[in-house]
Amino acid sequence: MSLKYKFKEGFYWGAASSAPQSEGAADEDGKGQNIWDYWYEKEPNRFFNNVGPMVTSDFYHRYKQDIKLMKELNFNSFRTSISWSRLIPNGIGEVNEKAVEFYNSMINEMIENGIEPFINLYHFDMPLKMQDIGGFENKKVVEAFAAYARKCFELFGDRVKRWITFNEPIVPAEGGYLYNSHYPNIVDFKKAVQVAYNTIIAHERALEEFRKLNIQSAKIGIVLNLSPVYPRSNNTADLKAARIADLFFNKSFLDPALKGQYPEELVDILRNFEILPEYTVEELSIIKSNKVDFVGVNYYQPRRVKAKEYLPNPEAPLMPEYFFDDYIMPGRKMNPYRGWEIYEKGIYDLLLNLKKNYDNIESYISENGMGVEGEERYIKDGVVQDDYRIEFIKDHLIWLHKAIDEGCNVNGYHLWTFIDNWSWMNAYKNRYGLVSLDLKTQKRTIKKSGYWFKQLAQNNGF
């Protein structure tokens, strides 16, 4: 068959998930509580249909059959995370041997099935004992994370060649300290900035530990959720609004992780509003001297902004939206279930930005996907007929292919996600998988998109 879009040899095809969203077994085999286990216990009503993280898709018990299923879909790679609270239940100290056994077995199973493990160290799941002393507000937790990272490298580094420090590190800072969608539900811009900054230091400390061990042929990176920011117009006020939104939501992590420094304009804004984090000169030099080998790009939607319509309320807590308003562009294409705009060209714009402004660093698309509510409506002959998902993937891959054609150093595409998984406060409201999950029976059924993806990976194109 002739392929219109062919990808380069050795391109990574697969999917991404995380420990807290797929493992389940939340209180088994000595796992410590993380913030999600605790928050669900405290306020189950805040989770869609009261579904918590106890079972999710039960990967902890079913990983062998799931990895076989990945192989059947021709995955050559898969990203998941290690649960810090499973490996080191208190966040520091004693290592849980049952966890070591599980992760060793999971990694070996992937390799035996020809699937390259991309292993992430942190996916929003702070151990509760660490959150009790402030989480990433506290520099002691930064050091605890570095020790945990080192332990992971020592235990699994002989086989794992693709390491990731953090997935979407901005999200716990935003969700937990600004927008009230993650525990500890604090609304405080200054604390959010401190948490974001300390997370970067934790990332850099993990890089230091990784470099010390000099693991042969292994690489370490970070996964960032990036949204290209588009101004409403070329009016100077709209352009300024877009520039500030880009500083807050993209460059605040891109620049320190990839360039070794923070943008001056961002620092000036934080200083002017008296929300600069506490930092040391030594920490700034750590940021300068440790850069990642690659970056994973999670892309779902663009961000469109305009200048403020009204002056902000001087009594209200300071928020990023003090500087801009979201702009709802007329005629935009929407995923109505998630309330997100679908804009395929965004993936191309992000990759071109990495090429132009970040030394064309090695990258891969680490997440991209479409969540749909009520997918059972589309079941025919026992299979979810999710043509909308196939179309979504194709339309993004066309722009990804164009970016590669234009010299962008991108070498993989991971869909979110493999099997419908638990998604924080949304639980199982929107389904994202190539494989559908029956919550009552845990039965897995490949969707139409799964069969399509199988061909895509086999042919290395479409």
H or E stretch covering 18: none
CB 200 within 8 A of CB 287: yes
CB 93 within 8 A of CB 157: no
Query: First vs last Cα of the chain: how many Å apart?
Result: 9
Pairing of strands 334-335, 340-341: antiparallel
Dihedral angle of Cα 149, 195, 242, 316, to the nearest 10 degrees: 160
Strands (E), 243-395: 294-298, 303-306, 325-326, 334-335, 340-341, 362-367, 372-373, 379-380, 383-384
Question: In degrees, to the nearest 5, what angle opens at C-alpha 329 toward C-alphas 326 and 332?
Answer: 125
Judged by DSSP in three states, 63 sits in helix
Tell me the residue type at 87: L
Q: Based on the residue annotation, tell me whether 367 is a catalytic residue of this protein.
A: yes
DSSP state of 446: E
How many other CB atoms sit within 10 Å of the CB of residue 312?
A: 12
Residue whose entry in the numeric block shows the structure tokens 């235990």: 155
Laid out side by side, the sheet with 303-306 consists of 229-231, 303-306, 325-326
CB 121 within 8 A of CB 148: yes
- Cα 22 to Cα 80, 132, 204, 235, 305: the distances in Å are 9, 25, 27, 46, 34
Phi-psi region of 114 (alpha: psi -120 to 50; beta: other; left: phi over 0): left
- What is the rounded CA–CA span in Å between residue 301 and residue 175? 18
Give me the catalytic one of 168, 174, 344, 375.
168
Phi-psi region of 201 (alpha: psi -120 to 50; beta: other; left: phi over 0): alpha
DSSP state of 336: T
**Exposed, middle or buried, 3 (CB in 10 Å: 0-12/13-18/19+)?**
exposed
Give me the catalytic one of 23, 209, 367, 375.
367
Q: Based on the residue annotation, tell me whether 28 is a catalytic residue of this protein.
A: no
Which residues are catalytic, by number? 168, 367
